[in-house]
Amino acid sequence: MIAFLVRRVLSSVPTLVGISLLTFAVLNLLPNDPIQVWSGGGYYSAEAVEHLRSELRLQQGPAARYASWGLALLRGDLGRSMRDGRPVARVIASALPWTLLLNLCSVILIYGVAVPFGLFGASSPGSIADRLGRALLILLYAVPSFAAALLLQQWFAVRLGWLPLQGVPDRAATAAGTTVALARHLLLPTVCLALSGWALVARYARAAFRSALGREFLAVARAKGLSRLRASGHVVANTAVPFITLLATIVPGLAGGSVIVEQIFSLPGVGRLYLTSIEARDYPVVVGLTLLSAVLVLAGHLLVDVLYLVVDPRIRSGLLDESTDAA
Amino acid sequence: MRPRSLSGILFTLLAAAVLSACTSSSPPKVGAVPGASEYGGRFVYPLRTEPATLNFVTASDQPADLVSRLVGDSLVDRDVDLNVVPRLAESWEFSGAGRVLTFHLRPGVRFHDGHPLTSADVKYTYERVIDPKNHALGRLDGFLPVESLETPDDRTVRVVYRFPYAPALSAWEMPILPRHLYEKEDFLTSRFNRAPIGSGPFRFVSWEPGRRIVLASNPDYWGGRPYVDTLELQFIPTQETTLMALLAGEIDYASLTPVQWDAYTRDPAFTRRFATVSYLSLFFYYIAWRADGSNPFFSDPEVRRAMALALDREEYVRAVLHGLGQVSSSLFHPAILPADPESRPLRHDPQAAAALLDHAGWRLDPETGLRRKNGAPFRFTLLIFSGGEDHAQFSQVAQESLRRLGIDMRIERLDWPALWARLQKGDFEAALSGTVPAGDPDDVVYGMLHSSQIRGGRNYAGFHDPEIDAWLEEGRRAIDPQARSACYRRIAKRVEELQPYTYLFFPKVLAALSRRVTGVAPSPRGLIVQYPGVIRLKIRQQPGG
C-alpha cells in the first residue's frame, strides 16, 4: 500500500515539470515586450525608449527566465508577480480562500440537492414527478452561467433588494455577523455555479441508485429479513464507487475558479486572477496558478485511488496485486 | 506596469469621468439640506481594473493615476477646462528665453505623516523618474529635455531646459513622493508602493486586492478639507455589474453604453434617482495607414485621402453610437485646440473617393469588381483590437463602404499586446487604434507625426513630412501661446490633406451619477482627473436622496 502510494506520487513529478515547461513556453510564445509593459498602454516617445536601453539589455531571455524560476521553485519560492511585484505565493493565497469557499459551498449545494433528487427519481422511475424534475434540471443546465448570473442579480439584488449584488462583505463585529454577511454575498454566485452541476450529479445519482436498487442481492437481503434501513446501507456502499470517481473531477475544480461567475459578481478569486494575469502576461502568477491546479488534479486522482482502496475490497486486492507484481 | 488594452483605457476613462456641459437631465443641485453639515459621507466609485502599483513615479495605468492624484499632490494640475492651475506650486515663471522654469512652492505643506514637503522632495521625485532603473516610461517624456534641476532653497525649484520647452508644465502634473520615506527602502519593492503616503487631499487607508481601495479625507489639506469623508474605489470588472450596482445603490457612479443610455434616460424612475451626464472625452479613434512604402497602397496621399472620403464616419456615429459621438474635424480635441473655422474637413463622399482612386491609377476591374493597379488588386488587412465591440463594429461598417468602391479590406483581430507588437514593428498595412491626449497640443501629436518617432516611438504610420516635422519642433519651442496655436493649426490643416492617420471620432462618455452627489464640475478628463474637482464633491446627508 505504501509502496503503491510512493510510486503514484513520484510518477506525478515529471508531469508537473512538463506542465510548468509547457505553460512557460506558451506564455513566452505570445508577444511580450517590456516596453509595452512599462508603458501601461500609454504614450511615450522614441527618446524615452532610448533612455531605458540599458535596462532593456538587462532583460533575460525565456530560457534564462525559466531556469531562474525553476531554481527558485526548488527552494519553495514561486517568484514575484511581474505586474505588482508581490510574491506569487501571496498573490495566490489572497485569491484562493474566496474560490475555495465559493466552490465548496456550490459542491455542497449541488450534492445536497442532486443526490436526494436522484434517489427519488430512482425509486419512482418514469413517474410524472421524475420526468418533470429531470426536464427542469436539464433546463437549468442549459442556461449559460452569465445569463443566470445577470438574471439572479437583476431579481434578488436590484428589484427585490434582498441580497447584495456583488463583491465580498466587510468583516462584521461578531463572527456570527461575518458569517451571515458572507452567506448573503455568496448565495447568488453559489446558486449560479450549482445550476449546471445539478443535472449532471442528479442523473449520475439516479442511474447509480437505479442499478443498485435493481440488483439481486438487495432482493435476497430483504428476503432474508434485513430491514429497509440496513438494506439501503448496502445500496449506498455499492453506489459509492461512481461517486468517488466523480470526486476526482470536483477536487481540482474547487481551486480552479470560475472566471465568468467571479467576474460578474466581482469576487476576488482565482478565476479573475487567472484572467488578469494572462492579460498582463504575468507569467510567474500564471505558471503558479497552473501548477496549483495541476497539483490538485493529481492530488484528486490520488485521493480517489486511495478511497477506492478503502471502500472496495475488490479494487484493493487488484491494485495491490499489481503493485506487488511490479515490485 | 501592466499591459493595458485599448478598451481598458477607454473604460477607465469612461469610469474616470463625470458630468458635462451637455447634461441631458437636470444637473444635480449644489447645496446640502439646510442645517445639515456639508461635510461627511462616502462616495463609492467603480474601477474596472486594479492598479499594479501606487508608486506615483512608476504608476502608468489609469486607476493608479487616479489614486496618485488624490493621495499625492503635484506642482501644477489642470482645471475643468484643461487650463494649467497651481497646486503645490503657488506660482511659477519662465525666464531665460523660455529655458528656465522656476516654481515657488506653497509654504507649510506636510505629507500625511506630518513631515514637511520641500523642494528636496521635488528633486528626489524628478531623479526617480529619470533613473532608467525605474522604467518610468510614461513620465519620462517631459523630463528628458531637462538639463538640470536646482533647489536654491526649501521653497524654490529651478528647472533648466536644454532648449525653450513650451509643453514643460504638463510633466509637472506628477505627484511628489516623500523622500524621507522612500530613501530608506528599495524603490521598486517599497511597502509604500502599496500603501502610498503623499500630501494630497485624501489619505490612503487600505487596498484590499480584488476588492477595493479606500481613501479618507485629509483634514489638514492645505487647500481645505474635502467635503467627502470616505472615497471608496471598488473594483467591478464588468460593465453590466457596474450598472446594476448603481441601480442597487451600492455605488454612486456608472458608465453607460449607448443602448443603455437610450433606455435609461427615458425612464423617469431612473432619472429621479440618477443624473445622467454625457460629454466628449479626449479619447479618439483613428486608422493608421502604413505609409512607408511597405505596401503598394498607402504611401500615396491621394489613396489615403480617398480612404478618408470613403469611410462613412457620420453614419457610424448616427447608427451605431446612436448619435452619441462626434466625427473628428481636426486632430485636436476641441478642448485642447478649438476647431479652425477655416478648416474644411473631409466628409463622406464615395464619388470623390472613386475619382481620386482612378486618378491614382487604381482602376476598377469589371470582372472581379476589385480595383487594380499594375495587375495588383486593392486588397489589404486592417488590424483591430479584439477586446472592444466598437472596434469590430466600426471596421465592419468600413469594410462594407470600401467593398462598394472595389476595395477588399480584411479584418484581423488581435489582443492588445499582439496588436501593439505589430504596430511597433510597422508590420501592418492599416490599423484601427485609439489614444488619449493629456492636455497639451504637443502631446500624442508629436509622437504620432514626427519622423524621429518612426523607430521606437508612436509614429506607427511611418509618416515623414519635413514641413510637419519643422512645425512640430516650432510648436515645442514657441512660448507665445498665439504663435503656438497658429503653428498647430497649420499642422492640423496639413494632416487633413495628407491623412497619414484618418481621425475617426470622439465617442461621448455616457454615465449616470447618484443624485446624492452634488458639487461636481465637468471636465473632458473626468471627475477625478481635474483640479480641484473631487475635493468639492459633496454627499447629500439626507436619506432617500
pLDDT attached to residue A112: 87
Do B499 and B492 contact (CB within 8 A), yes or no?
no
Cell numbers of B501, please?
Answer: 492617420
Distance from CA of B324 to the nearest CA of A (A): 25
* A137-141, B57-61, B123-127, B527-531, range with greatest mean pLDDT: B123-127
At position B299, the amino acid (one-letter code) is S
The chain-wide mean pLDDT, for chain B, equals 89
**CB within 8 Å: B138 and A49:** no
Please classify residue A287 by burial: count the beta carbons closer than 10 Å to its beta carbon, then call 0-12 exposed, 13-18 middle and 19+ buried: buried
Q: Provide the 3-class DSSP secondary structure of residue B14.
A: helix
Q: Is A152 left (phi over 0), alpha (psi -120 to 50) or beta?
A: alpha
**Hey, which residues does B510 pair with through a beta bridge?**
B278
pLDDT in tens, A80-112: 887 777 889 999 999 988 988 998 898 889 888
Distance from CA of A52 to the nearest CA of B (A): 5
pLDDT in tens, B382-426: 999 998 888 999 999 999 999 999 999 999 999 888 898 899 899
Q: Provide the 3-class DSSP secondary structure of residue A124.
A: coil
Interface of A with B in 23-82 (CB under 8 A): 30-55
User: The complex's ipTM?
Assistant: 0.81
Distance from CA of B106 to the nearest CA of A (A): 30
| Predicted confidence (pLDDT) at residue A37 exceeds the cutoff of 50 | yes
**Start-end of H helices in A77-144:** 88-123, 128-142
| Predicted confidence (pLDDT) at residue B35 exceeds the cutoff of 90 | no
Q: How would you write A250-278 as a 3-class SS string?
A: HHHHHHHCCHHHHHHCCCCCHHHHHHHHH
**CB within 8 Å: A165 and B245:** yes
Point out the residue among A41, A54, A98 whose CB comes nearest to the CB of B8: A41
pLDDT attached to residue A213: 75
Scan for cell 493565497, then name that residue.
Answer: A93
Between the CA of residue B330 and those of B283, B347, B451, B492, B524, what are the distances in Å? 13, 12, 20, 6, 17
Point out the residue among A40, A167, A281 whose CB comes nearest to the CB of B417: A281
Do A143 and A195 contact (CB within 8 A), yes or no?
yes
CB contact, 8 Å: B543 with chain A?
no
CB contact, 8 Å: B133 with chain A?
yes
**CB within 8 Å: B241 and A38:** no
Which of A38, A276, A285 is the mutation pick for testing B, counting most B CBs within 10 A?
A: A38
**CB within 8 Å: B417 and A40:** no
CB contact, 8 Å: A282 with chain B?
yes
Closest-CA residue of chain B to A263: B237
Return the higher-pLDDT residue of B107 and A68: B107
Determine the average pLDDT of the residues in B260-265. 91
B248 contact residues in A (CB cutoff 8 A): 157-158, 161, 164-165
pLDDT attached to residue B206: 96
Q: CA dihedral in degrees (A185, A186, A187, A193; nearest 10)?
A: 140
Distance from CA of B541 to the nearest CA of A (A): 22
At position B59, the amino acid (one-letter code) is A
Lowest mean pLDDT among A37-41, B108-112, B231-235: A37-41
**CB within 8 Å: A38 and B60:** yes
pLDDT attached to residue B320: 86
CB contact, 8 Å: B52 with chain A?
yes
pLDDT attached to residue A256: 66
Do B88 and B139 contact (CB within 8 A), yes or no?
no
Do B222 and B213 contact (CB within 8 A), yes or no?
no
B136 contact residues in A (CB cutoff 8 A): 38
pTM, full prediction: 0.85
Give the strand pairing for B230-235 and B42-47. Answer: parallel
Distance from CA of A44 to the nearest CA of B (A): 6
Output B129-134 pairs: Cβ under 8 A, ≥24 positions apart.
B129/B57, B129/B174, B130/A51, B132/A51, B132/A52, B132/A53, B132/A54, B132/A55, B133/A55, B133/B187, B133/B188, B134/B57, B134/B58, B134/B187, B134/B188
Lowest mean pLDDT among A17-21, B273-277, B446-450, B533-537: A17-21
Strand order in the sheet with B370-373: B363-365, B370-373, B376-377
| Predicted confidence (pLDDT) at residue B34 exceeds the cutoff of 80 | no
* A292-301, B326-335, B448-457, range with greatest mean pLDDT: B448-457
B417 contact residues in A (CB cutoff 8 A): 30-33, 36, 281
Distance from CA of A188 to the nearest CA of B (A): 13
| Residue in B1, B489, B6, B66 with CA at minimum distance from that of residue B284 | B6
- Give residue A257's pLDDT band: very low, low, confident or very high (50, 70, 90): low
CA distance A183 to A191: 12
| Residue in B469, B431, B437 with CA at minimum distance from that of residue B332 | B437
Return the higher-pLDDT residue of A35 and B413: B413
pLDDT in tens, A138-172: 888 888 888 888 899 988 988 888 888 888 888 77
Do B536 and B527 contact (CB within 8 A), yes or no?
no
- Give residue B542's pLDDT band: very low, low, confident or very high (50, 70, 90): low
Cell numbers of B273, please?
Answer: 434617482
- Give residue B464's pLDDT band: very low, low, confident or very high (50, 70, 90): very high
Interface of A with B in 93-112 (CB under 8 A): 94-95, 98
CB contact, 8 Å: B244 with chain A?
yes
| Predicted confidence (pLDDT) at residue A120 exceeds the cutoff of 50 | yes
**Hey, which residues does B233 pair with through a beta bridge?**
B45, B213
The chain-wide mean pLDDT, for chain A, equals 82
CA distance B475 to A304: 72
Point out the residue among B2, B237, B443 whose CB comes nearest to the CB of A83: B2
Interface of A with B in 248-277 (CB under 8 A): 263-269, 272-273, 276
pLDDT attached to residue A327: 41
CB contact, 8 Å: A134 with chain B?
no
pLDDT attached to residue B9: 46
- Give, to the nearest 10 degrees, the angle between helix B62-71 and helix B6-15: 40
pLDDT attached to residue A320: 60
**CB within 8 Å: B417 and A50:** no
- Report the share of chain A in percent with pLDDT over 90: 3
Q: CA dihedral in degrees (B433, B437, B441, B447; nearest 10)?
A: -50
- Give residue B301's pLDDT band: very low, low, confident or very high (50, 70, 90): very high
**CB within 8 Å: A37 and B2:** yes
CB contact, 8 Å: B206 with chain A?
no
pLDDT attached to residue B14: 40
Q: DSSP for B219-280?
A: TT-TT---S-SEEEEEE---HHHHHHHHHTTS-SEEE--HHHHHHHTT-HHHHHHEEEEEEE
**CB within 8 Å: A281 and B53:** no
| Predicted confidence (pLDDT) at residue A24 exceeds the cutoff of 90 | no
pLDDT attached to residue A305: 80
CB contact, 8 Å: B141 with chain A?
yes
| Predicted confidence (pLDDT) at residue A323 exceeds the cutoff of 80 | no
Determine the average pLDDT of the residues in B243-259. 92
| Predicted confidence (pLDDT) at residue A2 exceeds the cutoff of 80 | no
Point out the residue among A43, A164, A268 whose CB comes nearest to the CB of B435: A43
| Residue in B69, B64, B85 with CA at minimum distance from that of residue B176 | B69
pLDDT attached to residue B229: 95
**CB within 8 Å: B2 and A279:** yes
Closest-CA residue of chain B to A169: B211
**CB within 8 Å: B135 and A31:** no
Contacts of A161 (CB under 8 A, 6+ apart): B248
A165 contact residues in B (CB cutoff 8 A): 241, 244-245, 248, 250
pLDDT in tens, B169-184: 999 999 999 999 999 9
| Residue in A247, A273, A248 with CA at minimum distance from that of residue A259 | A273
Interface of A with B in 142-201 (CB under 8 A): 150, 153-154, 157-158, 161, 164-168
Determine the average pLDDT of the residues in B510-519. 91
